[in-house]
Amino acid sequence: MSERSQTVPTPEGEYFESTRFAGLSFLLGSVALVALVLCALGAVVNPHQFSYSWLFAFAFFFTLCAGCFFWTIVHHATDAEWTVVVRRQLENIAALLAVLALLFVPILLLRHHLYAWMDIPPGHEAALDFKRAYLDFNFFLIRAIVFLGYFIVASQLLRRFSVRQDRDGNPQFTIWMRRVSFASLPMFALCLTFGAFDWLMSLNYHWFSTMFGVYIFAGAAGSSMSLLVLVITALRQAGYLKDVVTLEHYHIMGKWMLAFCIF
């Protein structure tokens, strides 16, 4: 296993200036505030519909962030080179998993609108009784804490090590990030798969599929790579990464997008 680490100074003009996007940040913040008010109204007027809408939005953004986390750990585990210049964007998006953990709280509060199995007492349906050991709210809550806790801790560790390495160039951080990524590969598969079972597939407790986790994973990997292309393109249009991200990088990202479209 290679342990090489080469520090390359950041090119001139590549440090992000947040003041350049102050107007856009204010606009997006205003839209988010209005949307939050509308969500609150929707939760009062029609909590049943709001519950499904919130779950759909949560699942959409969770798969994007989880996919970016996947590409980050794959980068470190395989010692990839092409992702070095785009890795920080993957880390930034994956770090939003901490925010999504907070956005999971409304799903817990409105769980009775979503998961019918939570309101059916034992002995009323044989199919549900067979799954009762797994479909238990306390166990459901514990699993959610474990899944989201793992994603938060691992994504924050990787980003923190990466930022610190940018500051001092210590090659030890490369080894630490690689170790975290090796441990994260099986944990990622388990947490994403069973998270999909719990939060989405159990909406219909009669239905089951051994491939549902793979389906969610393929969507997460493909959509997150598409998001990365959009983010990189937006940064290049803003004047960043023009001499760093090349046409070859776009070719590689496009190939991965195609691969997960036909996966």
pLDDT along the chain (263 residues), means of 10: 50 61 81 90 91 96 97 93 92 96 95 92 85 92 97 96 88 92 95 96 90 94 96 89 90 94 85
pTM of the model: 0.89
Say if residue 209 is exposed, middle or buried (CB neighbours under 10 Å; 0-12, 13-18, 19+). exposed
Element (H, E) at 103: helix 97-103
The Cα-based distances of 33 to 37, 39, 40, 63, 92 in angstroms read 6, 10, 11, 23, 22
> Both tokens of residue 199?
């939060």
212-237 vs 47-78: helix crossing angle, rounded to 10: 80
- pLDDT at 6 (0 to 100): 54
- pLDDT at 18 (0 to 100): 64
Say if CB 8 and CB 171 are below 8 A apart: no
Buried b (16+ CB within 10 A) or exposed e, 75-99: bbbeeeeebebbbebbbebbbbbee
